[in-house]
Amino acid sequence: MKNESPVSTLSRTRKYVDRSTLHSGELGLVVAEAFVRGIRHIGYKSNIEALAELVDNSIQAYAERIDLVLGYADGGSSAKPEQLAVIDDGHGMSPDMLRFAMMWGGTHRENDRHGLGRFGYGLPCATVSIGRRFTIYSKLREGRVHSVSLDLDLLDRGDYKNSSSVIAIPAAQPAALPGFVVDAIKRDHPQGWKSGTVVVIDKLDRLDWATATGLRRNLVRHFGVTYHKLLAATAIHVEGEQVRPIDPLFLDPTAELHSLDDDRAQALDPLTLSVECEDGRSGDVTLRYAWLPPTFGASDKTRDAIGMNANKRFPIIKQYHGLVFSRNGRVVDVQSRTPWTTFINNDRYIRIEVEFSASLDEAFGVTTAKQQVSLSPEMWDRLRTAGLSKAIEHLRSKVRVAKAERQGTAAFAGIEACGSPTAPGVPFATDVSDVTSNTEFERSGEKDELAALLRTASEATDPSFALSALLRRIDRRMSDSESRVVAEYQRLLRGWAREMVRVSSLEETQDLPSDQHVGAMAAGVTDGILALQHAQSTWAGEGYGEK
């Protein structure tokens, strides 16, 4: 194209206009064939998000049961499906409504803010993003099954054009359901299929998974999270397997994976705020918070959740990492960035959900495909003012403390309580069964001092005494030959002590919020412990071991 002359370009555009207006002087808003080809690439993250659009429609049709079933070619492989169907037992559609359901924007719920759908794009966009042909079958109660199809190959050939060369959806006709759908209905609706809708997709040329097993496994997991708040009213099955709710915060005791083992998610109080937008719309936003023990994703709790030691929770922890956004009870997006922070791998164990009503779609920037949000600056400001940024830091400190306690480092023990907004100044913790006070601790001698400082929690000592004990130990170990090494760590520890005293005094005068207090304490403790451990290894390496 770069060598094409302006004259040649103009010639091509003239021919295109002549060809397009050959049969009619009127122009529609879109060129239908090009529109359909382009809409196949609307940008669903995967087939799963596309199929969720069909599930949304079924839920809004008051379905009590939704089944996703696969069809295979006669004599073909059972590993890869040839057809895919979503079956529901909702109220069904009339034959006339079937034609509108095929259209982009054809919905009686256009701009409805009470359910899951809104734009009328879900069914046609989702189906053509997976295969080149789709058929809608529907039945009203006491009525017959009717169907209508759209085949992209026939569309390209011009078979859907009427006498005016306008592409028209054909009228719905009485139809028989495909055999694999009939088999599924007999199995899953033994009392009969009284009403509902079936969407069948075939000519599957854009499946993300090479095998039916991979597709089924990922659908069950994804739908379990996406619809975890809605599954009590509507049962969803994938190839006969019931989808169980999976709360991405792991707080719902009735949800899958909540009670996988003895580890439990720890909740913070939720917060609901009312939001009024400039366009006059208003709605509620609810923030839910939780943090997870560092062993939450591991099978063997003595090792990290890596490789074969990752349990069934870990894929959810990893995939839903960041802020989980839910619209009218349905998960629509997960974002790992805010204007003020980015969620890193260490933040996987903090869990936050932002639940909003569809009346706030514009403020949250909900996309047509309902798989992404793009918050306005004003909405981010509202969330931050409501305490989201402070909550993130508070959750981070909880996880930091839990990780340190797991490592068995006593200097971290008790920081969680110390950092609690409702319990400032709780004593620093050690666990020495035979030492019950600072005085007894001081009398116990150098060896017991260190043992006490390196063991886990009780409330025997406060921070200032623990630090003094560390410094006294370093003083006892000093000699001319090791003074350079030890002096450096003594300096670090004294700095740590001063910082903890400063932080405590600021908190007492209410100049430092509790969540910042926790962060500063935890960071200071981390530096001090690393310094002590480094000093110990250095002493041992240079021959300054216990005498």
Say what the pLDDT of residue 170 is.
86
In terms of Cα–Cα distance, which of 438, 444, 425 is closest to 468? 438
Cα gap 357→277, rounded to integer Å? 13
pLDDT-derived band of residue 421, with 50, 70 and 90 as boundaries?
Answer: very low
pLDDT of 119 higher than 60: no
- Buried/exposed 267-286: b ≥16 CB within 10 Å, e otherwise: ebeeeeeebebeeebebebe
Identify the helix (H) or strand (E) that includes residue 203: strand 196-204
Cα gap 432→434, rounded to integer Å? 6
pLDDT of 417 higher than 80: no
Neighbours of 26 (CB within 10 A): 9
Sheet bearing 350-356, strands edge to edge: 266-276, 282-291, 350-356, 323-327, 330-335
pLDDT digits (tens, 9 = 90+) for 288-329: 999 999 999 999 999 999 999 999 999 999 999 999 999 999
Give me the residues paired with residue 200 across strands: 85, 135
pTM for the full model?
A: 0.69
User: What is the SS3 assignment for 235?
Assistant: strand
pLDDT of 193 higher than 90: yes
Q: Is 96 left (phi over 0), alpha (psi -120 to 50) or beta?
A: alpha
In the chain, what is the greatest distance between 2 CA atoms, to the nearest angstrom? Answer: 103
Cα gap 335→235, rounded to integer Å? 28
Cα gap 348→334, rounded to integer Å? 12
- Identify the weakest region by mean pLDDT among 47-51, 256-260, 277-281, 336-340: 277-281
- Buried/exposed 180-207: b ≥16 CB within 10 Å, e otherwise: bbeebbeebeeeebebbbbbbbbebebb
pLDDT-derived band of residue 19, with 50, 70 and 90 as boundaries?
Answer: low
pLDDT digits (tens, 9 = 90+) for 202-213: 999 999 888 889
Contacts of 287 (CB under 8 A, 6+ apart): 270, 271, 272, 273, 352, 353, 354, 355, 383, 386, 387, 388, 391
Check residues 399 and 547 and name the one with the higher pLDDT.
399
Say what the pLDDT of residue 66 is.
98
Say what the pLDDT of residue 480 is.
46
Cα gap 393→108, rounded to integer Å? 45
Task: Measure the CA angle with vertex 306, ends 304 and 307; round to 5°.
Answer: 145
pLDDT digits (tens, 9 = 90+) for 57-88: 999 999 999 999 999 987 666 778 999 999 99
The answer to whether 162 and 168 are in contact (CB under 8 A) is yes
Which structure tokens are listed for 531? 């310094």
In terms of Cα–Cα distance, which of 344, 393, 362 is closest to 516? 393
Highest mean pLDDT among 161-170, 266-275, 417-426, 458-467: 266-275
Which structure tokens are listed for 107? 């919905």
Q: Which domains does the chain have, with CATH numbers?
A: 29-242 (3.30.565.10), 266-393 (3.30.230), 407-541 (no CATH)
pLDDT of 162 higher than 50: yes
Say what the pLDDT of residue 354 is.
98
Cα gap 99→169, rounded to integer Å? 6
Q: Tell me the CB-side half-sphere exposure of residue 445, using CA atoms within 13 A.
A: 3
Cα gap 300→307, rounded to integer Å? 12
The answer to whether 135 and 98 are in contact (CB under 8 A) is no
pLDDT-derived band of residue 440, with 50, 70 and 90 as boundaries?
Answer: very low
pLDDT-derived band of residue 54, with 50, 70 and 90 as boundaries?
Answer: very high
Rg (CA), the chain: 32
Instruction: Kindly tell me the sign of the dihedral angle through the C-alpha atoms of 168, 172, 178, 183.
Output: positive
- Identify the weakest region by mean pLDDT among 134-138, 317-321, 531-535: 531-535
- 527: burial class by Cβ within 10 Å (0-12, 13-18, 19+)? middle
Contacts of 207 (CB under 8 A, 6+ apart): 47, 80, 81, 130, 215
121 alpha-carbon distance from chain centroid: 24
- Per-position DSSP letters for 142-163, written without gaps between them: TS--EEEEEEHHHHHHTTTB-T
229 alpha-carbon distance from chain centroid: 14
Check residues 22 and 406 and name the one with the higher pLDDT.
406
Q: Per-residue pLDDT averaged across 531-540, rounded?
A: 53
Cα gap 117→108, rounded to integer Å? 10
Say what the pLDDT of residue 414 is.
40
pLDDT of 532 higher than 60: no
